Structure 1
Amino acid sequence: MRGSTMDLSDAQWRKSGRSTGGNCVEVAVVPGDATTVVHKAGSDHLYLVRDSKDPKGPALAFTRSEWDAFVGGVKDGEFD
């Protein structure tokens, strides 16, 4: 979240148990905060994704409906 002041120090980042070699993405669920992620205002929670090789780098933020659409696409093979 470039330019964000959201404190992610308490976020519990997770990655797939199938991940090997350190080239992974990590996911965390955090409370929504409209003051730091204005375009996601009104979201109770945000689903964050970051590169495991750059834990202090940027994270992408998704609402629940955006996250559900992504997970559904993965399950349906849309990204294969």
Structure 2
Amino acid sequence: MDADVKARKERERDELYALDISDAEWQSAPGTEDHEERVEIAYLPAGAVAMRSSLDPGTVLRYTEAEWRAFVLGARDGEFDLEPAPHDGGLTAE
């Protein structure tokens, strides 16, 4: 990776994690109950997104707009689809 690109990405990450998100409005998928384990997201300035688990709300991952866009488009394209495991019919990640 080019040194300038690496420096820019590090600066973006540092700025993103420096944001105060204590008053962020967390959202989860429609139809999930408050007591259920779920992924929650909060929209941040400049198109960034924060993500956390409802079971561990203190651990928050943050993504720039470009990172979030790449993730969502990949999910739409099936990059993260689960397939049944051949031995027990359970679900595993590809």
Normalised to the residue count of structure 1, the TM-score between the two structures is 0.66
Structure of higher RCO (CA pairs closer than 8 Å, 6+ residues apart): 1
The one-letter code matched in structure 1 to 2:42 is: A
Change (3 A) 1:10 1:53: same
CA distance in 2, matches of 1:54, 1:22: 12
Whose strand proportion is higher, 1 or 2? 2
Which of residues 49, 52, 76 is equivalent to 2:51? Answer: 49
Question: Structure 1 stretches of 5 or more lacking a match?
Answer: 32-43
Normalised to the residue count of structure 2, the TM-score between the two structures is 0.58
User: After TM superposition, which residue ranges in structure 1, 4 or more long, deviate above 2 angstroms?
Assistant: 4-9, 18-21
The SS at the match of 2:70 is helix
Across the aligned residues of Structure 1 and Structure 2, the Cα RMSD in angstroms comes to 1.9
Question: Structure 2 stretches of 5 or more lacking a match?
Answer: 1-16, 82-94
Alignment of 1:1-80 (within 5 A): 6-19=19-32, 22-31=36-45, 44-55=46-57, 57-80=58-81
What percent identity do the matched residue pairs reach?
42
Task: Give the structure with higher Rg (CA).
Answer: 2
